[in-house]
Amino acid sequence: MSHDDGEPNRHSLARINSLPMAHPTLLAVSHGTSDADGARSIAAMVAQVAERLPEVAVRTAFVDVQAPDVTEAVPATAGPVVIVPLLLSNGFHVGHDLHGIAKTRHDVVVTDPLGPDPRLAEVLARRLPAGDSPVILAVAGSRDPRSVVDAEGMAAMLRAHINRPVDLAYLAARSPLLDAAVVQRPDATVATYLLARGFFFDLAQRHASGRTISLPLLDGGPTPEPLVDLVIDRYIEGASKLMERICATA
């Protein structure tokens, strides 16, 4: 998949401008973190999305740790809102928290989370060291069964992208846990399927027991263009869905 190295996605912008209503606010909702580097990386990605969408109000909110909380941000936002979860899979926060909030207003929609998506596989592959060693994809983990489907889908996408064995391991809630998986795969490199630094990346480093471990998708450097494209595309999908809903009830 090709990207324009920072140039606006003209196709996406044209789709936004063709919507027969005011541009909905893009509310980018992440988990929240107390890690300063992780918080800066996510804020930088959202800022880049805003730069690419100059006619759209782009705001941030969180489900935990940081402020504003999404439960306060949505009521405080006038007009239609597209909530884009900056989360990598379906789970409790998407299915319960965000969709629960969206049900309180007819002009609010929640998009799919960022993953699984081939563009995430592209960025994950960039983070891996060169070689042909097997890979353990370390996922945060959730008790929500939908998260398992998403994790397996992401592992399959990465496997197809790098043409190397890819096994799944979890950092919490499910098995195999990463600390057990690295024992079973002593020759494997650990790919962290995490958006940014924070609690789960620290946990992954401890569980990897000195094994080579890749940085998160947002590694503290320039925001990868595929991630910006992905957030914009989720917004476009949500804005189109919202337009259909509003037109159907008009």
Same domain, 101 and 65: yes
More confident residue, 248 or 4: 248
Neighbours of 225 (CB within 10 A): 20
Same domain, 69 and 146: no
Q: How far apart are CA 42 and CA 60, in angstroms?
A: 10
Is the same domain home to 202 and 228? Answer: no
pLDDT value for 92: 79
Q: What is the rounded CA–CA span in Å between residue 244 and residue 250?
A: 10
Q: Per residue in 163-216, pLDDT tens?
A: 999 999 999 999 999 999 999 999 999 999 999 999 999 999 999 988 889 999
Answer positive or negative: Cα dihedral of 94, 83, 42, 53.
Answer: positive
Residue 246 and residue 239: Cα distance in Å, rounded?
A: 10
Asked whether residue 232 falls in the same domain as residue 110, the answer is yes
Is residue 32 included in any domain, yes or no? yes
Scored b (16 or more CB within 10 A) or e, 57-66 reads bbbbbbbeeb
The verdict on residue 86 lying in a domain is yes
pLDDT (tens digit, 9 = 90+) per residue, 117-153? 999 999 999 999 999 999 999 999 999 999 999 999 9
110 and 138 inside one domain: no
Give the range of the structural domain holding residue 192, as residue numbers without chain letter. Answer: 118-207
Give the pLDDT score at 208: 93
Q: How confident is the model at residue 63 (pLDDT cuts 50, 70, 90)?
A: very high
Pick the more confident residue, 24 or 8.
Answer: 24
Whether the pLDDT of residue 249 is over 90: the answer is: no
In a domain, 106, yes or no: yes
Per DSSP, which regions of 49-134 are E strands?
58-62, 81-85, 108-110
pLDDT at 66 over 90: yes
Residue 81 lies in a domain: yes
On whether residue 46 sits in a domain, the answer given is: yes
Global pTM value: 0.91
